Structure 1
Amino acid sequence: MTASSRLPAWARPSDVADLIRLSVPIAISRMAMMLMGLTDAIVLGQFAPGELAYVLNAWLPIGVSLGLGIGLLLGVQVLTSELLGTGREAGSGRIFRRGLMWGIGLGAALTLLILPLADPLFHWIFVAIAPASEAAAAAASGEEVAAATASVTRILAFGLMGHMITVACSYYLEALRRPLLVTCLMYAGVAVNLVLDLALVAGFWGFPQMGAEGVAWATTGTRWFLVIVFLILVAVLTPAFRRSPPAEKGEAAHQVKVGIGTAISNVAEWGGFNITYVIATWVSIAANAVYGYTVQIIGLCFMFYLGIATATSVRVAEAVGRRNQEEVRNAGRLGVVATIVLGVVLGVLLVLFGTPLSGLLVRPDAEIAGIMLAPAIAALMWMAALITVFDGLQATASFALRAQGMVWLPSGIHLGSFFIVMIPACYWLAITLGRGAAGVLEGAFIGCLVAGALQVAVLEWKAARPVSERAA
């Protein structure tokens, strides 16, 4: 008996190699999106660390909108992967075009909605319902926070449609097994974003230092640069805009169904995490900075997990297209185990290098209202390490479930975990018990723990069911 024959069915070397080959480029590509935000935060940390709160809070309406749109667009990847698995990828252009039109329409509608609502929304959050806090008032008034956040939000809103277009292109290229191309384009975007940050935030080359608003303009400008490049390459290299065979009956409905479930989950997770930024700001601007910079590291780690989750989704969808139940089950289990192994590695690195990481995020002497930011961030890295493991598990398991057609149960778990569990836990620990930034992070851990455990449990339950059953 050979060593490979004694391994579990899901751990075949060929499958592990396929997962790595697909997930690493995707993770590196997805990391580019996070690196744009991390670059913004680092530049702000050197020149205006107190304005990070304006950017993070602005992502409440922007993040929810993107989560909705990006979720709907996941159907582009799943259905294209199914066609690829059965050798019909030449007809995938109709899948892409359908998703592209949804992204353009939804992006335009959400932009028109956000622009007039930004001011009243943040006045309500930071003035009307904000709990009294002496620490918060010491740095900036509620009116100041509301006005600055609304201004940043309006600038970011102009990039919504562009973001959705690039996501549709990325999903399509990755499903056609061209992840390296996506990676190269996204890192070109990181470079453009960094140049714009240095100009508009740091004030290089004679530009004025615009702080948080400079970050927003850099993000929006970068997004539209990527739109132009992505659309040109998709048109030249893929069947995206070529004539496609007629769609099978129910194809559009299936694409919507896959996307709607993911959209709900994204709204729950992204909206939930963005509300935690609000809770941290209610504590104080300093607490928001400490918590926000810590979450930037968590978000960077999540991109590794997202690579595994996306690759797992592609491999599961291909197996579904081949109607192979064993391959479906093994692909999901391999993704979960890979996530756990990666989580242990990343957790150890965060704990060991917490201090130099915090020094990279903000100036060593940066402080807000007497609180030294770098030491406070470093002290929370052990909790960030724990959060990343369960955040990764909930992503991998839910992606694998949706690739099998199970939509509503994973979405319900996300809604319950992040809105019913996480947000109240963050408020209770941070404000009621007075634990500040640490309390917000502890509440986030509780939410991710519940989400990760439940999604994996459902994936194992689903593994015993036939592929033909597309549970809602």
Structure 2
Amino acid sequence: MTATSRLPAWARAKDILDLIRLSVPIAVSRMAMMLMGLTDAIVLGQYAPGELAFVLSAWLPIGVSLGFGIGILLGVQVLTSEMLGTGREAGSGRIFRRGLWWSLVLGALLTLALVPFAQPFFHWIFVTIAPEGQGAGQAVPPDVVASSTAAVTRILAFGLVGHMVSQACSYYLEALRRPLLVTIVMYTGVVINIFGNLALVAGWWGFPQMGAEGVAWSTTVTRWLIAIIMLIFVAALTPGFRRSPPAEAGEARRQFDVGTGTAISNVAEWGGFNVTFIIATWVSIAANAVYGYSVQVMGVCFMFYLGIATATSVRVAEAMGRGNPDEVRNAGRLGVAATFVMGIVMGVLLVSFAGPISRLLVREDAIIGGVAIAPAIAGLLWLAAAATVFDGLQATASFALRAQGMVWLPSAIHLSSFFVVMIPVCYLLAIVLERGAPGVLEGAFIGVFVAGTLQLILLELKAARSGVKRAA
């Protein structure tokens, strides 16, 4: 028996190469979304580090809205991948157009909801329900935090439609195995956003220094430009706007159902993490900066995992379309193994370069409320590295499950892990036990640990059941 034959069935070289070929461009393109946020934070860290709290707190309603909308749109990718797996991709335009309409309607409705209610919402968060003593002795009073965060939220809300349209296009292009196009467009957006930040935050070329609001305007304009470019690519290079055969019975409902579960999970994860920014701000503006920059690093790492998760979803969906349960099971397990390998690599890098990374994020002499921000960030990056492994694991396992049609159990795990576990633990450690920024990150780690572990167990149970059915 050769060494090759003793390898697990999911570890075949051709499958590993296929996962790499698909996941690397997706990860690189997805990272562009996170790099936009990271460059926002870096420029703020050099020119107005105390205003990061306004941007991060604004992402509570914005992130929940985007997470819901982007989740609904996942059905574009899953159903298109299935059609590709059976050679019917030429008729996939109806899948894309359905998703495009959903992105327009959802984005518009959410924008109309956020713009008028941002101010009262954040006044309630930072003034009405804030823990007793919050804001005492701080340079920025709670009512100023509330009004500044609301202003950033309103600006970001105007980019929701553009963001959702570009996401529908991204899902469609990636499902048709054209991730390189998405990568090109997204990095074009990163460059545009950098110039916008330099103009509106740093004050280059004679523009006023607008701080957090400058970041928001740069992000919003960039999102619309990305959406326009994406639509041009879809129209010119895919069957997205061409006539399609009639839809099969129940297709629209299935597309919506696949996305609905993901939407709920996104609301849980994105909402949960963004609530932790609120908790950190309740501690202090300094705690928000330290924790917020640490999570920005986690977000960049997560894009690598998201590439693996998305590629795994595509490979699982294609195998489902071919009706091959062995390939389905092996594709899921390969994705999980790749996630752990990536976690080891990312962990070593973050721990080894913690100091330089922290100084890249914020100027070395930045002090907020008596706290030296850069050293505090460096001291937390080892825990951020550990958290990213389980954050990636929950993404890969849940994506593989949804591609097999299991929607609600992964969503229930996300809801319980992030709302029932993570948020209360963050509050307990950071506020009640007064552990500050480290306490918030410790709570976040516990939340993603629970989510990742439970999603993996569920994936293996699903694989075991499919194996029993095949044997029968």
TM-score (norm 1): 0.98
Cross-structure match for 2:71: 71
Letter in 2 for 1:294: S
Q: How far 1:4 sits from its partner (Å)?
A: 2.1
Give the CA deviation at 1:5: 1.6
Give the match for residue 291 of structure 2.
Answer: 291
Shift of 1:6: 1.6
Aligned partners of 2:25 and 2:368: how far apart in 1?
38
Q: What is the alpha-carbon distance in structure 2 between the residues aligned to residue 463 and residue 254 of structure 1? A: 22
Match of 1:27 in 2: 27
* 2:50 equivalent in structure 1: 50
C-alpha distance in 2 between matches for 1:468 and 1:117: 52
- State the alpha-carbon separation in 2 of the partners of residues 139 and 404 from structure 1: 52
Alignment of 1:115-154 (within 5 A): 115-133=115-133, 137-154=137-154
Q: In structure 1, give the amino acid aligned to 2:114.
A: I
What CA distance in whole angstroms lies between the structure 2 residues aligned with 1:55 and 1:409? 32
Deviation of the 1:219 alpha carbon: 0.2
Change (3 A) 1:467 1:22: farther
Match of 1:394 in 2: 394
Distance 2:172 2:371 in 1: 46
| Cα shift at 1:442 | 0.2
**Residue 188, structure 1, aligned to residue 188, structure 2:** yes
Larger mean CA deviation between 124-133 and 297-306 belongs to: 124-133
Whole-Å Cα distance in 2 between the matches of residues 401 and 345 of structure 1?
25
Q: How many residues are matched?
A: 469
Distance (Å, rounded) in 1 between the aligned partners of 2:80 and 2:447: 32
Q: Which residue of 1 aligns with 2:381?
A: 381
Distance in 2 separating the partners of 1:317 and 1:415: 24
Residue 275 (structure 2) aligns with: 275
SS of corresponding position for 2:465: coil
What is the CA-CA distance between 1:274 and the residue it aligns to? 0.2
Q: Could you tell me which amino acid in structure 2 is paired with residue 213 of structure 1?
A: E
1:139 deviates by: 2.3
Which residues of 2 match residues 322-471 of structure 1 at below 5 A? 322-466=322-466
Report the TM-score when normalising by structure 2: 0.98
Q: Which moved more, 1:167-176 or 1:136-145?
A: 136-145
CA contact (8 A) 2:422 2:443 kept: yes
Amino acid corresponding to residue 292 of structure 2 in structure 1: G
CA shift in 2, pair 1:253/1:136, >3 Å: farther
Question: CA contact under 8 A between 2:60 and 2:275: conserved in structure 1?
Answer: yes
Report the secondary structure of 1:464's partner residue. helix
C-alpha contact (below 8 Å) 1:324/1:467 kept by paired residues: no
Q: Deviations over 1:211-261 (max 9, x none)?
A: 000000000000011111110110000000000001111111110110000
Counterpart AA for 2:324: N
Query: CA contact under 8 A between 1:75 and 1:259: conserved in structure 2?
Result: yes
Matches within 5 A, 1:140-219: 140-219=140-219
Q: Structure 1 134/320 Cα, relative in aligned 2: closer, same or farther at 3 Å? A: closer
Deviations 1:274-296 (A, max 9, x none): 00000000000000000000000
CA deviation string 1:308-337 (max 9, x = no partner):
000000000000000100000000000001
Q: How big is the shift at 1:116?
A: 0.6
Q: How many Å apart are 1:468 and its aligned residue? A: 13
Q: Is the 8 A contact 2:44 2:201 kept in 1?
A: yes
- Please say if residues 293 and 361 of structure 1, whose CA atoms lie closer than 8 Å, have aligned partners that are also in contact: yes
Report the counterpart of residue 36 of structure 2 in structure 1. 36
Distance 2:83 2:137 in 1: 56
Report deviation, 1:348: 1.0
Gaps (5+ residues) in structure 1?
none
Percent of matched pairs sharing the same residue: 75
Aligned to 2:224: 224
Closer/same/farther in 2, CA of residues 426 and 302 from structure 1, 3 Å limit: same
Cα distance in 2 for partners of 1:101, 1:120 equals 30
Question: For residue 250 of structure 1, what is the amino acid of its counterpart?
Answer: G
Q: Which amino acid aligns with 1:111?
A: T
The answer to whether the 8 A contact 1:136-1:285 is kept is: no
**Is contact 2:134-2:282 (8 Å) kept?**
no
421 and 21 in structure 1: CA distance in 2 versus 1, 3 angstrom threshold: same
Letter in 1 for 2:419: F
Q: Which residue of 2 aligns with 1:240?
A: 240
Distance across 2 between alignment mates of 1:384 and 1:215: 25
Q: Give me the whole-angstrom Cα distance separating, in 2, the residues matched to 1:91 and 1:18.
A: 24
